[in-house]
Structure 1
């Protein structure tokens, strides 16, 4: 599979100028002190190229939705992370993409059938099914780990949006935690709780864009997920959303991350930015960072 791009992707790799904190061990931290700083970072500007780790990462024997995986990514590249909060039987919020434990842990059955005490005895698996030493983190732990280091994007699983909003409020995490929304109504709910809340909105068509505009959802505190592919229809979405100051995100997780070689994947990652996206979400964020350096 070939991708054509006509601009220097190295020049596109503009990440948080002035926002990367000085830190030990050469970590590439994103440290935002206020919601306004977060909003400015994600305001569209030509040439932006931001990496999002989908479920953290699955590279280098690391486990998805693990603190250890996200910390490892930040040793290589600035990134923010899409993560998956779910509830245990006794209503502790942990990170887990699937409703069941089998694929990503050494447990079996439904997460919702396990108490937090039982979940603490489990260990995460890597993408090849090998059991690691990494435990399943709580959302509270991950939020406090991320403070001063990165930005979290809370996807929607079985966690009621009321509880998501309350957890962000409890941690006063509006400067580094955003929430995924699938409708203007969900966006309005979060903004009614706190007008500074950053949103990751699914806006894949002009009709959905118009629904957000008609509902009066402010575009100056969101990014927009427009799909998993480079396709001609993206051009209209770039024009509509960029004109409102909104960065567009493409997720390579279900598509280009599955290409068989490093070279093919790197070419695809660079092509996504050359096509006009400002954010690339990937299961392989370390690879994406390296592709953008070359």
Structure 2
């Protein structure tokens, strides 16, 4: 199972403390040292709306460039794409919100206009030789209008296909989803996009994120998003809380016999470290205990993966 680290973007974008660029780069470097190979490093969005991402170019200029590591930049329009390409991202991710009301509050446009922006961005990325992925946000529920039908998410996925997405992600932006919804949404998208890899993005607002991750795994989703420390949330969604934690998800998968290739003690230490930088205990649980079987006393960082 591929775990996509989203802490540097989705994790930090909702935190009240604005971390210096060097701390963000240190956070990214620690995740790489723990084995992460695909990471949403930053967002190329308007700094007045998301000030936590105002230093996107500086972050990308300073991140370690290692073989096999892919840095994703989130973009919402052509201006964001131009910035991301100039900054040297390896991949872009575009968000289309499943409800019009949330889309207007999040991006200032309705769903139809957001899909138009997706096609424009996807075309520009393809011309530059950069893959573009699509995330359908609030796919499990909208904080303003309530339930989001599976057929609406399916229709958005179908409308996005001419843009040639590298991947389609379903995101539980406000943490209301349950495993039955996961299975229903995966099945609905598979009906219209059978050959496109799927990714899932879960928040743990109502303590269902890890159950949803297991349901996604069992449904054949190829990748799962998570943030080290479990930090994050959406600044435009009331009471949205953190992502599922990379270290807690890794422990769960490792104990299930699902290979992740990640260093569990190193992830847990990073989660504790980023919480300290943010002035609060990180939501992740693994950093408050130990792996099982326990890690060696010398802290060698041996994974529990069989």
**Partners of 2:206 and 2:131 in 1: how far apart?**
30
Pick the structure with more helix per residue. 2
Cα pair distance change 1:293/1:234, threshold 3 Å: closer
Structure 1 stretches lacking a partner, 5+ long: 1-12, 14-48, 98-110, 112-137, 259-264
Alpha-carbon offset, residue 220 of structure 1: 4.4
Matches within 5 A, 1:161-240: 161-173=77-89, 176-182=90-96, 183-195=114-126, 196-202=130-136, 204=139, 205-214=150-159, 216-227=161-172, 228=175, 229-240=177-188
Equivalent residue for 2:200?
A: 249
The two structures have a TM-score, normalised by structure 1, of: 0.51
Look up the match of 1:21. Answer: none
Give the CA deviation at 1:163: 2.2
Q: Distance in 1 between matches of 2:217 and 2:51?
A: 29
Corresponding residue pairs, total: 189
Structure 1, residues 234-260: CA drift from partner, whole Å, max 9, x if none?
2232124342323131323534499xx
What SS class does the counterpart of residue 178 from structure 1 fall into?
A: strand
Superposed CA offset, 1:199-237 (max 9, x none): 232163332332442465345422322424333132232
Please name the residue that 1:72 is paired with.
30
CA displacement at 1:76 relative to structure 2: 1.9
Paired residue for 1:287?
Answer: 248
Aligned ranges 1:1-294 → 2 under 5 Å: 13=1, 49-55=2-8, 66-82=24-40, 83-87=42-46, 96=52, 138-144=55-61, 145=63, 147-148=65-66, 150-155=69-74, 161-173=77-89, 176-182=90-96, 183-195=114-126, 196-202=130-136, 204=139, 205-214=150-159, 216-227=161-172, 228=175, 229-242=177-190, 243-256=194-207, 270=214, 272-274=216-218, 276-282=220-226, 283=230, 284-294=245-255
Structure 2 stretches lacking a partner, 5+ long: 13-18, 97-113, 140-149, 231-244, 256-306
* 8 Å Cα contact 2:157-2:168 kept in structure 1: no
Q: Is the 8 A contact 1:51 1:80 kept in 2?
A: yes
Distance 1:86 1:201, change over 3 A: closer
User: Structure 2-normalised TM-score?
Assistant: 0.49
Identify the structure with bigger relative contact order (alpha carbons < 8 Å, sequence gap 6+): 1
**Secondary structure class of the residue paired with 1:55:** helix
Task: Write the distance in 2 (CA, Å) between the matches of 1:214 and 1:169.
Answer: 25
State the secondary structure of the residue aligned to 2:4.
strand
